[in-house]
Structure 1
Amino acid sequence: MQIHNISQQNSILNTFLSEIRNINIQNDRMRFRRNIERIGEILGYELSKSLNYQSNSVETPLGNSDINLMENDIVLCSVLRAGVPLHNGLLNYFDNAENAFISAYRHHKDNPESFEIIVEYLACPNLEGKTLVLADPMLATGQSMVATFEALKPFGTPKEIHLVSVIGAQHGVDFVQNSFESNSHLWIAAIDETLNDKGYIIPGLGDAGDLAFGEKLQH
C-alpha cells in the first residue's frame, strides 16, 4: 500500500486540522462538520492526481479545446455516521460518483478495553472493475476499515482501492498497509504516534461522530 500523508507539506490543510483538534473550536458542530468536509475536498483533490485520464475535445462558443478528463468509475463508500462529512467533501469533487454506505461500530464484550467490529447496515452498487474510495475519518486500529472492505467483497472486485482518512494512528496505518494489496493507496491528513489503552488515537481529536452530530445514546 502506498501511504500519502498530506500534512507532511505545509498547506491550508493545517488550519482545518488545527480547528478540528482544538477543544476551544471543535465543539462548534457546524464548523467541525465543515472542516471535515473541507479536508475531504483536499484529500479528494490529491487523490485525483493518481487517477486515469483521457484526452477529450470540448466545444466552446469560439472553437474546440482539448483537455484530459478523468475516466475512472468511482464508488465512494463511507462508514456511518462519522464518515458523512468526509463523504460530502469527496462528493463535492467526484460529483458523478456512485455512493455506498456502511455502518461499522466497536462492540465491547466483557472487557471494555477489547472490542470487535460489527457491521449491521450496507448499501452498495456493483464494484466490479470500479475505483473504490473507502472513507473513514479516524483510522485508529484499522480494524473498521478492514472489516468494511471485507463486507463489500460480495459486490465485486474493484480495479483500484483508495482509503481516505483524516487522522490515523501509526498502528492503524501499519495494520491497513499489511491488510490491503500493495497497489492500493491511503490518503490521510495526519498520522499520530499512538493509541491509548481503549484504542483511541492520541492526541487525536476525540470522537468524530459525537463532535459532528452529538453524543450517542448509551444502551
Structure 2
Amino acid sequence: MHVHHLLEKNSIANTFISQLRDINLQTDRMRFRRNIERLGEIMGYELSKNFNFSEKEVQTPLGQAKIQLPQEELVICSILRAGLPLHTGLLNYFDAADNSFISAYRHHPNNDEEFEILVEYLASPSLEGKTLILADPMLATGRSFVNVLKALEKMGTPKVIHLVSVIGATEGIEYLETVFPENSHLWIATIDEKLNERGYIVPGLGDAGDLCFGSKMQH
C-alpha cells in the first residue's frame, strides 16, 4: 500500500488540522464538520493526480481547446457516521461519482475496553472494475477499514482502492499494509505515534462522530 502523508509538507491544511484538534474550538460543530470537509477536498485534489487521463477537445467562443480529463469510474464510500463530512468534501470535487454508504462502529460487549467492529448497513452500487474511495476521518486500529473491505467484497472487485483519512496512528497504518492490496493508496492528513489502552489515537482529537453530530447512546 502506498502511503501519502499530507502534512509532510506544510500547507494550509495545517490550519484545519490545528482547529480540529483544539479542545477550545471543538464545541463549534459546524466549524469541525467544515474543516473535515475541507481536508476531503484537499485530499481529493491530491489523489486525482493518480487517475488516468485522456485528451478531449472543448469548444470555446474563439476556437477549440485541448485538455486532459480524468477517465475514472468513481465510487465514494463513507463509513457512517463520522465519514459524512469527508464524503461531502470528496463529492464536492468528484461531481459524477457514484456513492456508497456503510456503517461500522465499536461494540463493547462486556462494557470494558475490549471491542469488536460491527458492520450493519450497506448501500452500494457495483464496484467491479471501478476506482473505490473509502472515507473515514479516524484511522486508529485499522479494523474498521478492514471490516468494511470484507463487507464490500460481494459488490465486486475494484480496479484500485484509495483510503482517505484525516488522522491515523502508525499501528493502524501498519496493519492496513498487511491486508489491503499492494496497489492501494492511503491519503492521510497527519499521523500520530500511538493508541491508548482503549484503542484511541493519541494525541488525536477525540471522537470525530460525536464532535460532528453529538454524543450517542452506547449499545
Question: What is the number of residues matched between the two proteins?
Answer: 219
User: Matches of residues 38-187 of structure 1 in structure 2 within 5 Å?
Assistant: 38-110=38-110, 112-187=112-187
Superposition deviation, residue 218 in structure 1: 3.2
The sequence identity of aligned pairs, in percent, is: 65
Unaligned 5+ residue runs, structure 2?
none
For 1:132 and 1:218, the matched residues in 2 are separated by 31
Cα deviations across residues 105-144 of structure 1 (Å, max 9, x unaligned)?
Answer: 1111226221111000000001000000000100000000
In 1, Cα distance between equivalents of 2:200 and 2:57: 49
Aligned CA RMSD, in angstroms, stands at 0.8
Once residues 112 and 52 of structure 2 are traced to their aligned partners in structure 1, the CA distance between those partners, rounded to angstroms, is: 45
Per-residue displacement from partner, 1:144-192 (whole Å, max 9, x unpaired)? Answer: 0000011001010000100000000001111111111111100000000
Structure 1 residue 210: Cα displacement: 0.4
User: Partner of 1:120: helix, strand, or coil?
Assistant: coil
- In 2: Cα distance, 1:33 partner to 1:110 partner: 32
What amino acid maps onto 2:146 in structure 1? Answer: V
Counterpart Cα distance in 2 of 1:194 and 1:160: 28
Provide the C-alpha distance between the structure 2 equivalents of 1:34 and 1:156, rounded to a whole number of angstroms: 32
Counterpart residue identity of residue 4, structure 2: H
Q: Runs ≥4 in structure 1, deviation > 6 angstroms? A: none
What residue is the counterpart of 2:2 in the other structure? Answer: 2
The gaps in structure 1 that reach 5 residues or longer are none
Q: In 1, Cα distance between the equivalents of 2:23 and 2:48?
A: 32
What is the CA–CA distance in structure 1 between the aligned matches of 2:137 and 2:2, rounded to whole Å? 18
1:24 aligns with 2:17: no
Question: Residue 190 of structure 1 aligns with which residue?
Answer: 190
Shift of 1:76: 0.1
1:205 and 2:208 matched: no
Distance 1:148 1:14 in 2: 29
My pick for the range that moved more, 105-114 or 28-37, is 105-114
